[in-house]
Structure 1
Amino acid sequence: MTRVLLAVAAVAAALVFGVGAAQAETLVDATGKQVTVTANQRIVAVGGAVTEIVYALGQEDRLLAVDTTSLYPAAATELPNVGYMRQLSAEPILALGPDLVLAIEDAGPPAALDQLRDAGVPVVVVPDDYTPEGVLEKIDMVAAALGVEEAGRALRDKVGAELAAVREAFAEVTERPRVLFLLSIGKSRTPVAAGRKTAAEGIIALAGGTNAIDGFESYKPLSPEAAVAAAPEVLLIGGRSLDLLGGMEGLLSVPEISLTPAAKNQRVVVMDTLLLLGFGPRTAEAAAELGKQLHPSVAVPAVPQ
């Protein structure tokens, strides 16, 4: 059961931004804290998926600012920016005068979020589980915090149907290629690979693949020995990371990568990192796109973009 609505109490009747009657809502967020939101017309969104959901709910006019990971839709990049989600500072956010901060799980540091709370700004931490159910939970939480539950249900139904169709398309595949995701890579740095309990592992599984790295959690530098032992059949990399390396030739010549089956067969999938790892409203689109590359013979459902 979703960790969203604990209690709802109507306190006034005013129409603002077309949201409806102003409400005081008490939510239980991803940290288990009870957060009471009495006004939420001026919002700071932290986390690309959170920002995407605000737009998908039609509530973008309420956004004061976003963080550096909020790159979609393009209009979000024109808003004031409060910095990287894990290196926030309370002072610039407080200077904007927000009614509410919506922050993805793992945003921080915790001291900055506590400063916001101490200053009287409600902070709702949105859960970030790398599964289809986790996407729907995000939508529920953001919609409840914004007081637009009806729009949230409509978005949830749409996204849920898309995710179910993609999941069903790859449910019966018998051969699941081993996929190595490289989060960032540069000529002077060791490749950083995605291990267990990562968004990369979640999207690879949804697309009918297997994460090639199972020896560690999170994102860690990849040694030549670990790369060879992982024996990936497919390399998955973001466009920016590929550019930093100097293109496909540069990637395939990295010592840690060059001896893998994927490099020898030049089987590389390049995708937008935010789309791939966001686990927001476009997750079905990301899984369908990756799944087409992993399983060309499987009929993948069309997902509206």
Structure 2
Amino acid sequence: MKLMNLLRYLTASIMFFSVQSFAGERIVSIGGDVTEIIYALNAEQSLVGRDSTSLIPTQVQKLPDIGYMRQLNAEGILSLKPTKVMASEVAQPAVVFEQLKSVGIQVDILPFGYTAESVIEKIKRIGKSLNKSAQAEILSKTFVQQLEAIDRSDLDVRILFVLNRAGANQMVAGSGTMADTEIKLIGAKNAMENQVRFTPISQEGVIAANPDLIVMTQLGIKALGGEDKVWELAGILHTNAGKQRNLVVVEDIALMSFGLTTPKEMAKLRMAAEKVKK
């Protein structure tokens, strides 16, 4: 039944795109980092859908949600009758994009990385695809200036990033994560740098790491039930951060991907770390 539904979608889409070539662009954006750039380039009027990680700016949440970017299905995307799909390279499964291409939908796969260079490349590629190369050049320069304005001198402050999602166990960020990259870029130390990627939180591990500052995202705090609940997490109260109630809350996308909001949240994190140091 699911296969038959997909075939019907594909057939209808082929008919649609033969007519749509003369109409305006209809874009589905997949990846919060991609979506925020589209808005920053003032091209949001072409958007007809987005994935569940696309939350910034808040008005994008009014668009139809096709679901989580790593669990895509062609039917949900095709139902929005897009002419173009702009997706992060970490979006999955890849077969979905082949299905979209087979009915004439343009698919732009965009870079995902933990460096400023990857963001700049992404901005320029999106700008070119949207015929906004001049605006993309200006946006790239602004992004670089914001990054360069952040103080990166060494700070003897140990930071612990706790990832919390509804219905899942809390995880802490080790090396090889976006959080680790940003913590080090502001001159601080990742309290869990001896761990790799994300690992489940444990009382023993947290106490041994003894962070000076806890970092969580806005949605993570909401899913937890509020900031007061942070101090109930395994081992936190026995750390320097727990004893002093040192907590900073950041935008979700900023510590999960390197994007336009990252410099602002990095500056916020640096300020919080400097206060702890004092």
Per the normalisation by structure 1, the TM-score is: 0.76
Work out the CA distance in 2 between the residues paired with 1:174 and 1:208.
Answer: 4
CA displacement at 1:252 relative to structure 2: 1.1
Residue 232 of structure 2 is aligned to residue 248 of structure 1: no
- Aligned-residue Cα RMSD (Å) equals 2.4
Work out the CA distance in 2 between the residues paired with 1:219 and 1:120.
Answer: 39
What does the per-residue CA deviation read over 1:118-164, in whole Å, with 9 as the maximum and x for residues that have no partner? Answer: 33323222111122222212212211222321111111111111112
Cα distance change of structure 1 residues 262 and 106 upon mapping to structure 2, 3 Å threshold? same
Work out the CA distance in 1 between the residues paired with 2:96 and 2:198.
Answer: 24
Cα distance change of structure 1 residues 204 and 151 upon mapping to structure 2, 3 Å threshold? same
2:238 equivalent in structure 1: 259
CA displacement at 1:189 relative to structure 2: 6.0
Work out the CA distance in 2 between the residues paired with 1:257 and 1:297.
Answer: 16
Work out the CA distance in 2 between the residues paired with 1:160 and 1:40.
Answer: 32
1:122-201 counterparts in 2 under 5 A?
Answer: 122-166=106-150, 169-170=151-152, 173-184=153-164, 190-201=169-180
Alpha carbons 1:208, 1:294 under 8 Å: kept: no
Per the normalisation by structure 2, the TM-score is: 0.83
Alpha carbons 1:143, 1:149 under 8 Å: kept: yes
Work out the CA distance in 2 between the residues paired with 1:196 and 1:124.
Answer: 30
- Helix, strand or coil at the partner of 2:67: coil
Residue 204 of structure 2 is aligned to residue 218 of structure 1: no
- Helix, strand or coil at the partner of 2:128: helix
| Aligned residue type for 1:280 | G
Residue 36 of structure 2 is aligned to residue 56 of structure 1: no
Work out the CA distance in 2 between the residues paired with 1:174 and 1:226.
Answer: 24
What does the per-residue CA deviation read over 1:35-56, in whole Å, with 9 as the maximum and x for residues that have no partner? Answer: xxxx982211011111110011
Alpha carbons 1:275, 1:283 under 8 Å: kept: yes
Alpha carbons 1:191, 1:256 under 8 Å: kept: no
Q: Number of residues paired by the alignment?
A: 255
| Aligned residue type for 1:207 | I
- Helix, strand or coil at the partner of 2:235: helix
- Helix, strand or coil at the partner of 1:44: strand
Once structures 1 and 2 are overlaid, which stretch shifts more, 146-155 or 218-227?
A: 218-227
Work out the CA distance in 1 between the residues paired with 2:244 and 2:263.
Answer: 28
- Helix, strand or coil at the partner of 1:153: helix
Work out the CA distance in 2 between the residues paired with 1:83 and 1:241.
Answer: 19
1:65-76 counterparts in 2 under 5 A?
Answer: 65-76=49-60
Higher helix share: 2
1:22 equivalent in structure 2: none
Sequence identity of aligned pairs in percent?
35
Work out the CA distance in 1 between the residues paired with 2:156 and 2:104.
Answer: 49
Alpha carbons 1:42, 1:63 under 8 Å: kept: yes
Alpha carbons 1:179, 1:234 under 8 Å: kept: yes
Residue 83 of structure 2 is aligned to residue 99 of structure 1: yes
- Helix, strand or coil at the partner of 1:174: coil
CA displacement at 1:116 relative to structure 2: 1.9
Work out the CA distance in 2 between the residues paired with 1:174 and 1:292.
Answer: 13
Work out the CA distance in 1 between the residues paired with 2:24 and 2:116.
Answer: 27
CA displacement at 1:185 relative to structure 2: 6.0
Work out the CA distance in 1 between the residues paired with 2:94 and 2:238.
Answer: 42
Q: Name structure 2 gaps, 5 residues minimum.
A: 1-22
